Amino acid sequence: MKIIFAGTPEFAAVALEALYAAGHEITLVLTQPDRPAGRGMQLQASPVKQCALKHGTPVAQPVSLRLDGKYPEVAQEAHALLRSTPHDVMIVAAYGLILPRSVLDIPRYGCINIHGSLLPRWRGAAPIHRAIEAGDAETGITIMQMEEGLDTGPMMLIESLPISDEDTTGSLHDKLAALGAKMIVEAMEKLEQGALPATLQPEQGANYAAKIAKEEAALDFSQSAEQLARRIRAFNPFPGATGRFGDTVVKLWKARAVTVAQQGEPGQVLSADAQGGIVVACGEGALLLTELQKPGGKRLPAAEFLKGFPMEGGRLA
């Protein structure tokens, strides 16, 4: 198959690498413009761009594809490039730009998306985070035909994956990236054979997975310990859940809900020692914090963290 690939982060790069390995001809790659990153804030190419350049594939980085948007000339150039580039299908994975109808209609087989949830459960930008936060028992990958609605297109392939009690967004992302790569290769094989039927999504059970905002990092200890433990896993590695101890904002990377005999006010540190760990009262139950980080420091197990940051008798807010 001749493929135009549109994607930006590592999730998409894993799929792109799998398509190269399967022998498909990637004729063009679209990705987000280079962004400042690292301590020096130097411009850095996206993982997808790095993968494409390694394989010698042309790369385009338009800031918009909307002919009616802020950059119509840029969009017109991108449209012309898409029309002039030989391809059968466009594959899209976490690209980050809206694809208008004028783009969706260009490829012979349309645009096919690798989506990180069991549609229609989580439509939107952050399906992995939201699945963990909500306490879902499973998630998965849906290969879908794109249309103008937000992740509303017909489903072509779908495969589930259990969410373990230890999964963070980081660990689940890696599992789903590998699954998505496998499934998009399978989808291309079926498409070549003319055996990739699509099923309309049901509207029942659809939820919007809103993009994660940094403000969500601050935990509310009036919530239950189970809810907070899920939020900590959902916000690992980004944006990192936080609690304020006095004037210091502490990042909370790992925790689990526990049952305690002594129940205090939400946020009260019930115990903080090397043996028992850091136990914090919640609206319901208590949270055992096992990995924390102070500003400018490293992530540390609770016992190591307490050596330089005593918390006994204090309060997290």
pLDDT in tens, 42-91: 899 999 999 999 999 999 999 999 999 999 999 999 999 999 999 999 99
pLDDT at 38: 75
Question: Which residue, 156, 132, 116, is CA-closest to 7?
Answer: 116
Please give the C-alpha separations between residue 147 and each of 98, 188, 192, 296, in angstroms, as whole numbers. 11, 19, 21, 45
Mean pLDDT of 263-277: 90
**pLDDT at residue 39 tops 80:** no
Q: Does 8 or 39 have the greater pLDDT score?
A: 8
**Worst-scoring range by mean pLDDT, 7-21, 76-90, 237-251, 269-283?**
269-283
Cβ 173 vs Cβ 242: under 8 Å: no
pLDDT at 41: 80
pTM over 0.75: yes
pLDDT at 160: 98
Q: Round to whole Å and give the CA distance between 88 and 221.
A: 52
Cβ 277 vs Cβ 271: under 8 Å: yes
Q: How confident is the model at residue 275 (pLDDT cuts 50, 70, 90)?
A: confident
Q: Which residues pair with 236 in a beta bridge?
A: none
Question: Which residue, 90, 66, 84, is CA-closest to 76?
Answer: 66
Mean pLDDT of 30-50: 91
Mean pLDDT of 274-303: 94
Mean pLDDT of 181-194: 97
Q: How confident is the model at residue 256 (pLDDT cuts 50, 70, 90)?
A: very high
Q: Does 314 or 274 have the greater pLDDT score?
A: 314
**pLDDT at residue 37 tops 90:** no
The H or E element spanning position 7 is strand 2-7
Helix, strand or coil, per DSSP, at residue 257: strand
Find tokens 């017909």 and name the residue: 154
pLDDT at 70: 94
Share of the chain above pLDDT 70, in %: 100
Q: Which residues of 74-106 are buried (b: 16+ CB within 10 A; e: fewer)?
A: bbeebbeebeebebbbbbbbbbebebbeebbeb
Tokens of 54: 């390694």
Cβ 127 vs Cβ 115: under 8 Å: yes
pLDDT at 312: 87
DSSP per-residue codes, 296-307: TS--EEHHHHHH
Mean pLDDT, the chain, as a whole number? Answer: 96
Q: What does DSSP assign to residue 118? A: S
The H or E element spanning position 26 is strand 25-30
Helix, strand or coil, per DSSP, at residue 85: coil
